[in-house]
């Protein structure tokens, strides 16, 4: 009996992906665990393994196809004694080939047929041939009990059934789409007399645009700013690096910032929380995400249990994550999760900025450059100090103003008194 191979969800948030490369061809025999294809998500390229054994009877989605929805049938596996003739012609797949022409919207909507479901809402398992016969005869598959392996509905079940499918419902007018500015055609007309290069959006850019738009529209941001004196930290860092030179370790200011934030989340545990729709999740470990810029976008790899790790361990792990992020070699579990994020543009000369919260995080710290500034000392005398401005963007649903101020004060205390972080 033919088995459908579906587009996998390689991460909890994945909705679609690009079928970058097939590692098998029609007629190949595969076993469970064999590599079938390379799938590109918005963040990485991952290998997809077979879970069943059989022969690749038909490949339905070509290499390079973009926008393949999760659970779309991408290939069909046949067993011994079966042939490709047993495979029903599938509905148009939900994918856009890199070289294919655009499909009219009306046609695409008409071709989108939901997977059959049982009366209790669970998914029905149906052979492609049985599904085609049911569609031709108008048979309601939810009324049929399958006699195939594991309850799968087969051809004989449909032919012998008199269950009729319910009449299709008239589609109601769709709700107007959320306004996102002028259309692409409108913008193009504005610049039709100017020379420009059109740059298509890749998967990562589309996801960044969608999620950050959602974040700014749905998360009630507020911002807390503080100046941090870095002289004690810079002196302490220089001393540590001198002692660590023989081990090939060189700590960065960012390593200290990660450690300071992780410890602050333990000092102010109520701020170590994320928004989960109808509730909040208060985390016990300090899992800190750090923004890493790559060509065409960014990653936020997560340093888990950062409060329990040494500065050298954090430095080594951060360098590894950043290098693999730039090569797009991170696995989903390495850039998902965390309750707090850091975005550091100080090394690019930015004095201060406001970062956008990456949901479901409760806050993100935007770090500016350290620079020599005049300051008034405790004795009232004017002096010069290295000062860094940070801005804490906070989700007001998770963290109130006073709690956010307490968290930021703890971060400041850790950075201005760096030896405390080793206690």
Largest CA distance in the chain: 95
Torsion of Cα atoms, 26 then 31 then 33 then 36, to 10°? 0
Picking from 421, 265, 415, the residue whose alpha carbon sits closest to that of residue 340 is 265
DSSP 117: B
Q: Which helix (H) or strand (E) holds 223?
A: strand 221-229
DSSP 166: P
Active site residues: 396
- Distance, in Å, from the CA atom of 60 to the CA atom of 277, rounded to the nearest integer, reads 37
- Distance, in Å, from the CA atom of 358 to the CA atom of 298, rounded to the nearest integer, reads 12
| C-alpha 86: how far from chain center | 38
- The answer to whether the beta carbons of residues 97 and 34 sit under 8 Å apart is no
**Per-residue b or e along 277-301, where b marks 16 or more CB atoms closer than 10 Å to that residue's CB:** eeebeebebbbbbbbbeeeebbbbb
What residues are paired with 35 via a beta bridge? 49
């Amino acid at each position: 009996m033919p088995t459908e191979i579906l587009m996998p969800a390689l991460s909890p948030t994945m909705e679609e992906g690009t079928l970058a490369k097939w590692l098998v061809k029609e007629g190949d025999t595969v076993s469970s665990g064999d590599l079938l294809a390379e799938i590109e998500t918005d963040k990485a390229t991952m290998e997809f393994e077979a879970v069943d054994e059989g022969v690749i009877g038909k490949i339905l989605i070509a290499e390079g196809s973009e926008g393949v929805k999760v659970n779309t049938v991408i290939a069909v596996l046949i067993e011994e004694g079966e042939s490709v003739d047993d495979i029903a012609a599938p509905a148009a797949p939900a994918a856009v080939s890199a070289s294919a022409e655009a499909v009219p919207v009306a046609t695409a909507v008409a071709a989108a047929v939901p997977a059959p479901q049982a009366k209790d809402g669970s998914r029905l398992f149906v052979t492609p041939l049985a599904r085609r016969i049911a569609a031709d005869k108008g048979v309601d598959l939810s009324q049929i009990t399958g006699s195939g392996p594991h309850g799968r509905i087969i051809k004989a079940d449909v032919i012998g059934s008199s269950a009729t499918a319910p009449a299709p419902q008239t589609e109601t007018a769709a709700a107007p789409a959320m306004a996102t500015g002028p259309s692409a055609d409108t913008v193009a007309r504005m610049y039709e007399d100017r020379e420009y290069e059109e740059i298509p959006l890749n998967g990562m850019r589309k996801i960044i645009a969608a999620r950050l738009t959602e974040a700014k529209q749905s998360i009630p941001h507020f911002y807390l700013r503080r100046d941090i004196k870095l002289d004690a930290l810079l002196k302490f860092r220089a001393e540590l690096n001198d002692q660590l030179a023989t081990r090939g370790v060189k700590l960065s200011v960012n390593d200290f910032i990660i450690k300071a934030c992780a410890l602050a989340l333990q000092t102010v545990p109520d701020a170590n929380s994320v928004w989960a729709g109808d509730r909040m999740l208060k985390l016990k470990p300090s899992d800190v995400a750090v923004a890493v810029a790559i060509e065409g976008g960014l990653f936020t790899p997560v340093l888990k249990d950062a409060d329990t790790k040494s500065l050298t361990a954090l430095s080594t792990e951060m360098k590894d994550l950043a290098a693999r992020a730039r090569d797009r070699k991170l696995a989903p579990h390495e850039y998902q999760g965390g309750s707090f994020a850091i975005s550091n543009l100080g090394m690019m000369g930015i004095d201060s900025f406001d970062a956008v919260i990456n949901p479901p995080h409760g806050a993100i710290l935007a770090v500016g450059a350290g620079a020599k500034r005049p300051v008034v000392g405790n004795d009232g005398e004017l002096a010069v100090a290295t000062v860094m401005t940070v801005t804490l963007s906070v989700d007001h649903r998770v963290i109130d103003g006073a709690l956010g101020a307490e968290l930021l004060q703890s971060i400041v205390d850790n950075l201005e008194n760096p030896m405390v972080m080793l206690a």
